[in-house]
Amino acid sequence: MTSDYGKINLKVNKNIEGRVIEAGAVARMRLTQSNSGKVDWKERRKTVAITVGDLALPESFELVPGKWSIDVDLPSGEILQDEFQVVAGEVSDLEMDAEPSARESLSWHHYSGSVQGRDGHQRATRLPRSTVLVGTGDSFPGLGNILETTAIPSSKTSLNDVADSLQKAVNDALARGEEVAKFSMSIFEQKYNQPQWQWLLDVSAGEPFSFNQKKYMKEISIEEKPADDIYVAFSIPNSAGENRRWAIVDGLGVRHLVSIPTPWENVAHGPFPELEILFHVLSDEHLGPQLVVKDDSIAAMLAFMNAGKLSNAALVVDRARVLLFHKITNRIAAAGGGYVMLATRLHSDDTEWQQWIFNLAEWFVDLPDGKILQGAMYLNGPKDVRDFDKAAACFKEAYARGIPYYSLGISWLRSGLATLQADYPELAEAAKNVGSISQMIEPKQPFTALKLPPETA
């Protein structure tokens, strides 16, 4: 540190299952009052990805002297704000505390934005209109047996009150030998060379889904849990295999198909991380099952993708790009990083990562997302890269490889096919099919999750 600068040691406290999340939030620092007259604009602002966690070590930043403001953007949607003073030649400390989660078991889900924090669970709130707390439970078949006995007002109450009453009502019903509403998750395997778009088209056309399961998939596990809480969570086996895996998840009269991104190797070469699907029992009809991957290295990237904050996700990718791209030990994680880079860095002077996109497309022939990324590069990239013939070939190959792991992949594939089909008639059928399936996508989810039509449930 030179005498012209001061240093701030920044620490963001947040309990996330006792973990330390590198590049776990985005800090934006702005000089509001200078102590040394005119300051170059480049030194008046600093935007960086920072570490988050109760056990994290402070991170140091050299800044020009003066009064600074700071906003820390967390994947949960919480924004921490503060002001601090930087003194030339001195070191200052700044600790910021994020909102705690409602429960230890929900700390990761709260951090990633899947559930509210402690304050959100304690304050009175108006529950979704589609939720039935008292009555026959017609809105959600099977839920009435649980909730009609609760004494919760249907207007305003806290989520914690609902959780306590719901658990008691379920336990009492089970003790009486009554049926209660359940959630179930079945894990299926499918060989990569089997048609993936066709069986979804069959389903969207009204063919019973159970028939499609037998025709195209092999069930390897099934698990049921009662709806005895406002959240119901299922752990997903994260193991290597030669086949692609899907989860069929049922709850409250709705069925979803979720793409499981396995095997998911820890980007930082540690043990395989946990995967989990979380149901919101008291959600509105637009919120599907939430799939989370507990990979410390890129947790924030996935969460910011989920929130649509791709500029924040790009800062995380910048910090983790060596882990993501240099050896590509985790092709699915690298594809996620590729979507972020293409969306935010396509026309930047930094072009090294573009070759990594081509490697991803060519090295992993079972990954639809790789060819989608390559096609987007040829379609929308700089003039020296742009090639519509190659873009059309990439999107055609991506369709042949199957359903993308990421929901962004379906959107980008639909857009690419729609853009090119007039000049490349061989893409017309694929464009029509992907357009149909895209109507089933659950919004605001990084990994592909499709809500199946009611007649197939």
Q: Please report which confidence band the pLDDT of residue 131 belongs to, taking 50, 70 and 90 as the band edges.
A: very low
CB 146 within 8 A of CB 170: yes
Higher pLDDT, 126 or 189: 189
Contacts 24+ apart (CB under 8 A), 85-91: 86/5, 86/6, 86/7, 86/8, 87/6, 87/35, 88/3, 88/4, 88/5, 88/6, 88/35, 88/36, 89/1, 89/3, 89/5, 89/6, 90/6, 90/7, 91/1, 91/6, 91/7, 91/8, 91/9, 91/60
Q: Is 304 helix (H, G, I), strand (E, B) or coil?
A: helix
pLDDT digits (tens, 9 = 90+) for 83-104: 999 999 999 999 999 999 999 9
Q: Please report which confidence band the pLDDT of residue 129 belongs to, taking 50, 70 and 90 as the band edges.
A: very low
Higher pLDDT, 430 or 286: 430
Higher pLDDT, 331 or 199: 331
Domain covering 299-438, topology:
1.25.40
| Structure token pair of residue 228 | 């005895």
pLDDT digits (tens, 9 = 90+) for 379-397: 998 888 899 999 999 999 9
Q: Is 39 helix (H, G, I), strand (E, B) or coil?
A: coil
Higher pLDDT, 192 or 73: 73
Q: What residue has token string 């929308």?
A: 380
Mean pLDDT computed over 155-172? 77
What rounded mean pLDDT belongs to the chain? 85
What pLDDT sits at residue 142? 40
Listed by start position, the domains of the chain span 6-97, 114-175, 182-196+210-289, 299-438
Amino acid (one-letter) located at 265: E
pLDDT at 285 over 60: no
Q: Please report which confidence band the pLDDT of residue 278 belongs to, taking 50, 70 and 90 as the band edges.
A: very high
What pLDDT sits at residue 140? 39
| Structure token pair of residue 169 | 């009502």
Q: Which residues contact 384 (CB under 8 A, 6 or more apart)?
A: none
| Selection from 404, 400, 347 nearest residue 373 by Cα | 404
CB 197 within 8 A of CB 169: no
- Please give the span between the terminal C-alpha atoms of the chain, in angstroms, as a whole number: 64
Contacts 24+ apart (CB under 8 A), 439-444: 439/204, 440/200, 440/204, 441/407, 441/410, 441/411, 442/256, 442/288, 442/407, 443/286, 443/407, 444/306, 444/307, 444/308
Q: Is 195 helix (H, G, I), strand (E, B) or coil?
A: coil
Mean pLDDT computed over 196-205? 80
pLDDT at 151 over 60: no
pLDDT at 27 over 90: yes
pLDDT digits (tens, 9 = 90+) for 405-418: 999 999 999 999 99
What pLDDT sits at residue 452? 85
| pTM summary value | 0.88
Q: What residue has token string 């040691």?
A: 9
Q: Please report which confidence band the pLDDT of residue 22 belongs to, taking 50, 70 and 90 as the band edges.
A: confident
Query: Do the two domains 6-97 and 299-438 of this chain adopt the same fold?
Result: no
- Range in 113-122, 153-162, 423-432 with the lowest mean pLDDT: 153-162
Q: Which residues contact 415 (CB under 8 A, 6 or more apart)?
A: none
CATH numeric code, 6-97: 2.60.40.1120
pLDDT at 128 over 70: no
Element housing 102 (H / E): none
pLDDT digits (tens, 9 = 90+) for 337-376: 999 999 988 777 777 888 889 999 999 998 999 999 999 9
What pLDDT sits at residue 175? 83
pLDDT digits (tens, 9 = 90+) for 230-277: 899 999 988 777 788 999 998 877 889 999 998 888 776 566 788 999
- Range in 79-83, 307-311, 393-397, 399-403 with the lowest mean pLDDT: 307-311
Mean pLDDT computed over 178-189? 85
